[in-house]
Chain A
Amino acid sequence: MNDTSLHAILDRPNSYIGRSVPRPNIRRLLQGRGTYVDDVHLPRMLHVAFVRSPYAHAAIEAIDTAAAKAAAGVFAVVTGAELAEYCTPWVGVLSHLEGLKSQPQHALAIKKACWQGEAVAAVVANTRAEAEDGVGLVEVQWRELPAVVDMERALDAGTPVIHADLGDNLAWQREYEAGDVDAAFATDTVVEEVFTFGRHTGVTLEPRAILADYQASEEHLTVHHSNQAPHMMQNIFATHMGLEEHNVRVICGDVGGSFGIKVHTYADEMATVALSVMLRRPVKFIADRLESFVSDIHARDHVVRARVAIADDGRITAIEINDLTGVGPYSVYPRTSAVEANQIVNLIAAQYTVENYRARTRVVFQNKVPMCQYRAVGHPIATAVTEGLVDAAAAAINMDPIEVRRRNLIADDSYPAKAVTGLMFEGLSHQQSLARLLEMMDYDGLRAEQTRRRAEGVHLGIGIATFVELTNPSAMFYGVGGARITAQEGCTVRMDAKGNIICAAGVTEQGQGAEAVMAQVTATAVGVPLDKVRVITGDTDVTPYGGGTWASRAAGIGGEAAVQAGKVLRGRILDVAGTILQAEPATLDIRESRVVDMADGRDRIGLDEIGRIAYFRPDTLPKEFQSELVATRHYVPKQYPFAFTNGVQASLLEVDIETGFVTLLKHWVVEDCGTVINPQLVDEQIRGGIVQGIGAALFEHCQYDGDGQLINGSMMDYLTPMAAEMPDIEIAHVVTPTADSELGAKGAGEAGTAGAPGAVLNAINDALRPMDVRLNVHPATPEQILTALGTVKPD
């Protein structure tokens, strides 16, 4: 794979690799001229609003649609049974997650609703307001059923089974064991902790949005979709609407945030598409914020019982975890709701040399919003548990937590290495990253300040979290389990008649800067200035087949496809140049859109002139020569199942022990994502990710009452991180490229979210250490802190 010639991507003259150039394609967003789904208006377009279950679990005895059908502006009122003729149900399982089971799910629930917020009927009208009026007139005769709310009791004998066909509420379980765990626990110091991670959700500022336009005459479907994976959705729409895949076009224009929320099959979105097929009209669905809270996937919701054994010399000798997670009533299609649990088992202690490990995870059904993959899937939990255990173990043997980490992190010179969980690591830099972090934050100075301030009654806390991040997934992630989700990326580059480069890519853009990365790589590989490249993404009719942007894959996988496509195009341009100039193409190069002599840079001919001749005067070229100024290349990681990255975060905060309030003072990160294509974009991915992780650590929580009712489903009641409470974040990098690709880039999109909750909780516990209490509850609200301090009694 690696090109060691002068043409290697990292050795190109005038390279854009490693430069913080501003993103192209975003001036429109700065001027309010973007095109998000709700900005698209089609002729004869209708709007749909959904009748949603007010109960967590209830049988649908009857639905009376007469009054709604008669309402002004209402075009149709459709129930689940009616819509099922246009859309087949789906089941969210993967064969490599052995034993995972789930119930078929319909676009609109037919016999019963399984969570508060599940759509059971659709009202289609001329405006959204009229559709909502119609929703208010639909009368559903409900018969409330006992709800499975508490995941801890989901498997109890007396608890009702949500889907009788499945036999019980256990969706999946996995056990894993390596080494001799019991021996270590028998001899060394043991610390036990219980960690809880509340449910939270993505709260993309642009809610989920879809506009389906079915042309019955052509049996052709166009879907404008706020989504991360257009080719995946093309397959899903075609499969379940009974259409040919090439007759389905999915367009993902501007997307107002995704974070893993917009990469799943949502029943209400499938219903919108089916309604367009049924009604032969364009139908638009824009989730409003209140229904977002009860229909966007939720994430986390884990209880992890964990223990660690540590020897007197600071060696961690064993870790055991028992994880339980509640995932709602269905495993979400097609990625399933078991991946987070699986990743927790895989990622616990993955940065350490511990040799004895036992894990169990159980994934249970319950009557709450379905849960699925959200930014940093499993990582924040594995990191917070591992690093919480390490801090607790360090305290138990009176060793500095940094020293314990030094003694246990996998050494930088020992790669390739295998984690106790079985993961293979190509090359990581834990030790170097930790050293860099301590220097950057002045760790010893901060410890001295902490001691000084404690004497004044101020409780500062310093928390550290090391982590690994899974990026650039191969086909071992989803494809191997039977999901039609490609791990491969394609890129087509072509030169136009003026010498500009058009790059069409399978990766997608939701703000991360994927298009900027593709432009930088393409410009560098071909040899043109950045402003001569235009990138097109998010349209299945136009771009090569690709997976889209998720799992921190766009830069590493999509970028490599652009490297290889760009190099081929450069060669093809030089073939034309060589023919025109009667020179050997190998003696030529392209720099700044000019063909030059490789040896001395002497200017020979511009790409605009090559374009003119190739496209308009091919008669002047030899008869046996045909120019081909376009190239497509694909790339999929093959050497390793994933390109793991690593990093370490530190949080400095103050806990007010009177009020329980936490003030974040500063946050530091050292991260190693291999080759850094655009340092500013990487840093901003990390910052944004950290703030999402801080949200999980301190604020965000989907709170349910005992009947399975979400009680804080609005932006007034569900707290998200806002500017005033967030700290400045300092970032540094260590660079360990992957040899799996010529570019050497790994992902960086989830590192921030992976490490922040562990760092923040460790800092809170560090602040509380003089009071001799520990807190392992996410979010660590003032109430939780005061409860831990004994100031208030738990509910």
Chain B
Amino acid sequence: MEPMIDLQITVNGEEVSARVPARQTLVDFLRYQLELTGSHVGCEHGSCGACTVRLDGEIVRGCLVLAAQADGAGVETIEGASDSGELTDLQDAFHTRNALQCGYCTPGMLLTAQALLATNSAPSRDEIRAHISGNYCRCTGYQAIVDAVESVAASRRGEGTS
């Protein structure tokens, strides 16, 4: 039988006890056991960034972390970060600027952009581009995403909401 591991994990503020296959990745656990399907699987080898989630506050690739490694940790997904309201201005800017098309990269892109804005309140366009360069988007060509992140940075600094 497949080796199983017991987990205690906090997901979006909720205590979760679970029994997972030892080989199961964190993103598969979130998607298939907890039915938090907002974290997407794009490559399963750490290249595309679609599975980006927060592990103890830091963004990680959900496909490169085993669920078992998250035992005792706190995990936040796009669902939690949306419901808490912390992404609302970023989501509004993405919506208004059409910084998403198919939406598959969007949860990872939002969490990645939020991580940048948490440490750099006035990123240049080049810095924004560099920071999201590990998140693949096939649809937009990235410019609208850069525009949206730039505008949120400005509005969070109190410099208007254009």
Does any Cβ of B come within 8 Å of A124's Cβ? no
Which residues of B lie under 8 Å from residue A31 when comparing CB positions? 38, 78-79, 82, 91
In the bound complex, residues from chain A placing their C-beta under 8 Å from that of B137 are 205, 723
Most buried by B among A206, A257, A258, A722: A722
B146 at the interface (CB under 8 A from A): yes
Report A3-36 residues with CB < 8 Å from chain B CB.
22-23, 26-27, 29-34, 36
Contact between B107 and A41, CB atoms less than 8 A apart: no
Tell me the bound Cα distance from A85 to B91 in angstroms: 50
Q: Across the interface, do B45 and A36 meet the contact criterion of CB distance under 8 Å?
A: no
A676 vs chain B, min Cβ distance (A): 14
Taken residue by residue from 684 to 727, chain A's Cβ proximity to chain B (1 for < 8 Å, 0 otherwise) reads as 10011111100000000000000000000011100011111110
**Closest chain B residue, CB of each to CB of A724:** B133
CB-based contact A513/B129 at 8 Å: no
Kindly report which residue of chain B lies nearest to residue A254, judged by CB atoms: B103
Decide: A205 and B101 in contact? CB cutoff 8 A. no
Query: Given the complex of chains A and B, what is the CA–CA distance between A72 and B3 in angstroms?
Result: 12
Contacts of A688 in B (CB 8 A): 101, 138-141
B82 x A205 contact (CB < 8 A): no
- CB nearest to A512 among chain B residues: B101
Residue of A nearest to B134 (CB): A722
Q: Within the complex, which residue of A203, A205, A728 is in contact with B143, where a contact is CB–CB below 8 Å?
A: A728
> Is there contact, CB below 8 Å, between B101 and A726?
no
Check A684–B140 contact: CB distance below 8 A.
yes
Cβ contacts A to B, 21 pairs, < 8 Å: A22-B98, A23-B98, A29-B100, A30-B95, A31-B79, A32-B79, A129-B21, A129-B23, A202-B138, A205-B102, A206-B42, A256-B103, A692-B141, A715-B47, A715-B136, A724-B126, A724-B130, A726-B129, A726-B143, A728-B146, A752-B141
CA distance A257 to B2 in the complex (A): 35
* Per-residue interface assignment for chain B, residues 78 to 119, with 1 indicating a CB less than 8 Å from any chain A CB and 0 otherwise: 110010000000010011111011111111001000000000
- Tell whether, in the assembled complex, residue B91 and residue A513 are in contact, meaning their CB atoms are under 8 Å apart: no
Q: Which residues in B have their C-beta under 8 angstroms from that of A720?
A: 136, 138
Docked-complex contact A34 and B133, CB < 8 angstroms? no
B151 on the A face (CB < 8 A): no
Q: How far is the CB of A28 from chain B (nearest CB, A)?
A: 8
Of chain B, the residue at the smallest CB distance from A31 is B82
Q: Specify which chain B residues have a CB less than 8 angstroms from the CB of A691 in the assembled complex.
A: 140-142
B94 touches A289 (CB 8 A): no
* Complex Cα–Cα for A695 and B43 (A): 18
Residue numbers of B with Cβ under 8 A of A are 1-2, 21, 23-24, 31-32, 35-45, 47-48, 50, 77-79, 82, 91, 94-98, 100-107, 110, 125-126, 128-130, 132-146
A206, B134: Cα distance in complex, Å: 16
Q: Is the CB of B38 within 8 A of A32?
A: yes
With A22-B98, A257-B139, A726-B142 as contacts: A205 and B129 at CB distance below 8 Å: no
Contact of B138 among A26, A204, A513 (CB under 8 A): A204
CB closest chain-A residue, reference B111: A32
A466 to B155, CA, bound (A): 39
Task: Tell whether, in the assembled complex, residue B45 and residue A715 are in contact, meaning their CB atoms are under 8 Å apart.
Answer: yes
Pairwise interchain contact A684-B50, C-beta atoms closer than 8 A? no
Chain B residues with Cβ below 8 Å from A726 are 129, 141-143
| Interface hits, A49-87 → B, CB 8 Å | 72
In the assembled complex, A626 has its CB within 8 A of some CB on chain B: no
- Report which of B36, B43, B98, B106 forms a contact with A513, defined as CB distance below 8 A: B98
B102 near A723: Cβ-Cβ < 8 Å: no
Number of interface residues of A (CB under 8 A): 57
In the bound complex, how far is the Cα of B144 from the Cα of A729, in angstroms? 10
What distance in Å separates the Cβ of A784 from its nearest Cβ neighbour in chain B?
A: 23
6 new A-B contacts, CB < 8 A, other than A511-B100, A687-B140, are A34-B38, A129-B23, A206-B102, A289-B48, A714-B43, A723-B130
Which residue of chain A has the shortest Cβ distance to B1 in the bound complex?
A72
Is A734 part of the binding interface, using a Cβ–Cβ cutoff of 8 Å?
A: no
- CB <8 Å contact, A723 and B101: no
**The residue from B42, B130, B133 contacting A205, defined by CB atoms under 8 A apart:** B42
**Distance between Cα atoms of A255 and B101 in the complex (Å):** 10
* A715 x B129 contact (CB < 8 A): no
- Once A32-B38, A722-B136 are accepted as A-B contacts, the answer to whether A511 and B102 lie under 8 Å apart by CB is yes
Does A510 count as interface, using CB distance less than 8 angstroms? yes
Q: Verify if A218 is at the interface (C-beta below 8 Å from B).
A: no
Q: Among B40, B50, B133, point to the contact of A723 (Cβ < 8 A).
A: B133
CA distance A32 to B105 in the complex (A): 10
- Residues of A within 8 Å of B132, CB to CB, are 723
Which B residues are in CB contact (< 8 Å) with A510? 101-102
- Residues of B within 8 Å of A692, CB to CB, are 138, 141
User: If A38-B37, A206-B42 touch, does A33 touch B79 (CB 8 Å cutoff)?
Assistant: yes
B143:A27 contact, CB within 8 angstroms: no
Contact of A30 among B37, B94, B126 (CB under 8 A): B94
CB of A259 within 8 A of chain B?
Answer: yes
- Bound-state CA distance A202–B138 (Å) is 9
Distance to closest chain B CB from A45 (angstroms): 11
On chain A, the residues within 8 Å of B77 by CB distance are: 32
Q: Which of A512, A691, A692 is the most central at the interface, judged by chain B CB atoms within 10 Å of its CB?
A: A691
| Max chain B Cβ within 10 angstroms of own Cβ: one of A26, A31, A512, A716 | A31
Which of A36, A204, A257, A721 counts the most B-chain CB atoms under 10 A from its CB?
A: A257
CB–CB A257/B104 < 8 A: yes
Which of A26, A681, A721 contacts B103, CB < 8 Å? A26
Query: How many angstroms from the CA of A22 to the CA of B91 in the assembled complex?
Result: 12
